[in-house]
Amino acid sequence: MDEFTLQSVTFTELKGLENVEFVFEKRLTAIMGVNGVGKTTVIHALACAYQPPVNGKGENHKFPEFFVPNTDSLWAGSVFLVVNKKEKSPFERKYEKKTDRWTPRYEDRPRKIVYYIGIDSCLPEIEKNSLQSRIKYSSSQRTDKNAEKVIQAAAVVLNKDYSCLLDNAFKNKHFIGVKLGSGLKYSSLSMGTGEQRIIKIFETVMNAEPYSLILIDEIDLLLHISSLKRLIVQLADLADRKKLQIIFTTHSLEMVNMTDYVGIQYISSVKDKDGKETMFVYDRISSDLVYNLTGDTCRDIKIYVEDEMAKAVIKKVLRMLGASGRAEVIKYGAIENAFTLAAAKVLSGEDTANTLIVLDGDKYRNADDKLAQIKKRLSGTESDADKKRHQALSLLAQFNLPEGVAPEKFFHSLLLENGDKQSELTMAAAEINAVHNTHEWLYGIRKKLNDSEENIVRDIIDISLYSERWEDYIRSVKTWLTSRVNV
């Protein structure tokens, strides 16, 4: 394997990144910027830029893993250039997708050990298993080369009294576990997600070969600011001693105070008077960028939703209240991310008075179910642990769906009840009586009318706006918003 380092990557076009360069001068680099600006795209592209060495170590990521061809985008026209440096001699490789295939072919990529740690490492281990009955595993102390170093490093970051790292074997599966100085033992099946992720990061870094590239998405997720600072200091030391490169995305402004350890690459965009957007990457954060990252003061309300449909509902409610300009609506994806997000907000110590995380209402409907999910992510035993859990719980609200009814089915029924029976939209909905999965209640309409989900949902909302069922559906969210808008 050739020993070389990553020097820079320049994107001509990939997702939302256009004509922008990122430079990696330090062992640790923080990719920063507001939501949706392209931070994760950078590390996804870099994960695909190399192939593993012949010894098979590292991971082999391919473009379809992160850039899945779909109806809206086949990624044709994507181009980016990676510059590496071997000793003092740079060499570059251009990656592009002209038609069906990315070039260069995978076997022609440079060989480099790469590890990618995504936000799915925040998912509690118990949720990756479908077992419902008792799990009886055998537990033994790990004696592999870096086990003791991993647990000692995690203990420093998390301020935990760990004594050793455990291996828990169940059938053909293995789960990590820990033992505390008190003798208490527990596995990743009941471990806090932040705790689980820190151990994963240290295992990856300490077992990595020299000159490895380690990519981490949202490194600060589920970490208190003090733990994040300790993590960065340790990673910087490990990267220097092992000649590693670690690139991570983060929203934490604490990076401003850690430039002795971390290089900053902050993505920002500016629109001209004609609406054309130009992207810039800064190697430091100015007061203007801090203002940008923390949000426009006129948009003091932050609302997080599962998907585009929920986003359209919230935007309609905001317009009804005359408050569209005051709120930012952000998608968080799968419902489990809602609880991770709530926990992260509490741990970050930020002001959450005007923050709401909205669930669709078809899963984790009652308070006990929600609290159980929060406990998986905030599993500490500190004196204020319960206070933090209830604070996280208070950030959650949900739409009022009928029991057992998916959101898509609910909107489908609203359309049939309130729409003009002779309209193209209502007639298309009336033809759908049974589906294989819940998304087809609306996708079937989209397909028949050859229209977008955004337009279909918007039209259904407009039709259903004055029905009692609509008002009942939005009541809790509307009440919360009304209380903030009128302040």
Cα gap 117→482, rounded to integer Å: 40
Asked if 234 and 153 touch (Cβ cutoff 8 Å), the reply is: yes
Q: Say what angle helices 453-464 and 468-485 make with each other, to 10 degrees.
A: 100
pTM given for the model: 0.67
Cα gap 378→344, rounded to integer Å: 9
Cα gap 402→407, rounded to integer Å: 9
Provide the residue-wise pLDDT of the chain in tens; the chain has 487 residues: 458 999 999 999 998 899 899 999 999 999 998 888 899 999 999 999 999 998 878 999 999 999 988 877 789 999 999 999 988 788 999 999 988 889 999 889 999 999 999 987 665 554 555 555 567 788 899 999 899 999 999 999 999 999 999 988 877 788 888 999 999 998 877 777 788 899 999 999 999 999 999 999 999 988 888 999 999 999 999 999 999 999 999 988 889 889 999 999 999 876 655 666 778 888 877 655 665 666 544 567 889 998 888 999 999 999 999 888 888 888 877 788 888 888 888 887 778 899 999 999 999 999 999 999 998 888 777 788 899 999 999 999 999 999 999 999 999 999 999 989 999 999 999 999 998 888 889 888 988 898 887 788 889 989 988 788 999 999 999 999 999 887 6
User: 246-296 pLDDT, tens per residue?
Assistant: 999 998 888 988 999 999 999 987 665 566 677 888 887 765 566 566 654
- CATH number of 5-121+204-292, picked from 3.40.50.300, 3.90.25.10, 3.10.310.30, 3.30.70.20: 3.40.50.300
Tokens 């990595």, residue located: 208
Q: Closest Cα partner for 59 from 195, 241, 214?
A: 214
Task: Indicate where the chain has its CATH 3.40.50.300 domain(s).
Answer: 5-121+204-292
pLDDT score of 169 = 87
Sheet of 28-32, strand order: 114-117, 213-216, 245-249, 28-32, 262-271, 277-282
Q: Closest Cα partner for 463 from 410, 386, 427, 411?
A: 411
Structure tokens at 340: 């991770």
pLDDT score of 275 = 65
Amino acid making up residue 346? V
pLDDT score of 1 = 47
Q: How many residues does the structure list for the chain? A: 487
Per DSSP, 435 falls in state: -
Percent of the chain with pLDDT over 90: 54
